[in-house]
């Protein structure tokens, strides 16, 4: 089984189309989404319409829940809160209902899917250090858990009691080890690389492959400005931060 794992699209249709073209070229058996379909970007309905028929499993991100009223905006920064309110009034009733019904976690044979934290799927913690990862990795029994949320691709590998972190683009999975994998963000990368990110899980080949794609950042930014969203949200796409 080869599985494409996408996360944090954030209403960026230009990035999503680039990623889906790359996914199609690699012909995975299955596509899954770790949430944050919307928020920040100017094409929330278009992204849901495009992705929904393609994904076998999807979970809710905090921005999905904020945009459909299932989560309060209390801890969002100003730009995120403004984008969430804009998304709230822009969503079609059908797309709002879709986001509203997304589960917090999903399971595939051999892998757990959550947006942010397997230990607390409703808590929206960031897994940024090996210490964070140790706690999170005690919370799932599968050999693999896929997360997004930080928009920072990379993975934690646990061998016995030792957890190490790597940002290698391709990782060979070894028997008996456990992996917590951040697949990065399709629509708003924050690791200083503006290219769209997604991950291929090649189960039979025991490989995890981070993919990066150049896309039309200018067009995505223009759409954000034309929609009247904060200019900062367009600018940050160019920096990948
Ligand atoms: Zn996100």
- Host domain of residue 20: 2-239
Instruction: Return the closest-CA partner of residue 33 out of 59, 53, 15.
Output: 59
In this predicted model, what pLDDT tens digit does every residue of 194-227 receive, in sequence order? 999 999 999 999 999 999 999 999 999 999 999 9
Dist. CA 188 → ligand 1 center (Å): 8
Contact call for residues 210 and 148 (beta carbons, < 8 A):
no
pTM of the model: 0.97
12: CATH: 3.60.21.10
Query: 196: buried, middle or exposed (CB in 10 Å: 19+, 13-18, 0-12)?
Result: buried
Number of domains making up the chain: 1
- Per-residue pLDDT band for 73 (boundaries 50, 70, 90) equals confident
138 phi and psi, to 5 degrees?
A: -75, -10
Question: Is the pLDDT confidence value at 132 over 80?
Answer: yes
Q: What is the Å distance from ligand 1's center to 150 Cα? A: 7
Residue 205: HSE in the Cβ half-sphere, 13 Å Cα cutoff: 11
Q: How far is the CA of 35 from the centre of ligand 1 (A)?
A: 8
What is the distance in A from the centroid of ligand 1 to the CA of 28?
24
Distance in Å, CA 176 to ligand 1 centroid: 31
| pLDDT exceeds 90 at position 63 | yes
| Alpha carbon separation from 98 to 60, 127, 161 (Å, rounded) | 10, 27, 40
Q: Do residues 127 and 155 make contact, with C-beta atoms less than 8 angstroms apart?
A: no
pLDDT of residue 75: 77
Mean pLDDT of 149-173: 97
């Amino acid at each position: 089984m080869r599985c494409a794992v996408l996360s944090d699209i954030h209403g960026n249709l230009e990035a999503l189309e680039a990623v889906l073209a790359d996914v199609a070229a690699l012909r995975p058996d299955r596509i899954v989404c770790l949430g944050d379909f919307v928020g920040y970007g100017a094409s929330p309905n278009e992204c849901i319409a495009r992705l929904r028929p393609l994904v076998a499993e999807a979970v809710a991100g905090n921005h999905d829940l904020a945009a459909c009223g299932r989560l309060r905006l209390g801890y969002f920064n100003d730009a995120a809160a403004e984008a969430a309110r804009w998304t709230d009034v822009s969503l079609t009733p059908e797309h709002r209902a879709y986001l509203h019904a997304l589960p917090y976690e999903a399971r595939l044979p051999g892998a757990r899917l959550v947006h942010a934290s397997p230990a607390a799927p409703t808590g929206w913690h960031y897994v940024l250090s090996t210490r964070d990862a140790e706690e999170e990795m005690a919370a799932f029994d599968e050999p693999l858990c896929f997360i997004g949320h930080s928009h920072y691709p990379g993975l934690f590998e646990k061998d016995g009691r030792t957890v190490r972190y790597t940002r290698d683009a391709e990782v060979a999975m070894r028997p008996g080890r456990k992996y917590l994998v951040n697949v990065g963000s399709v629509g708003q990368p924050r690791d200083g690389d503006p290219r769209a990110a997604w991950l291929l899980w090649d189960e039979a080949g025991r490989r995890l492959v981070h993919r990066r794609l150049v896309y039309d950042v200018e067009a995505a930014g223009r759409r954000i400005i034309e929609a009247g969203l904060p200019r900062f949200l367009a600018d940050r796409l160019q920096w990948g931060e």
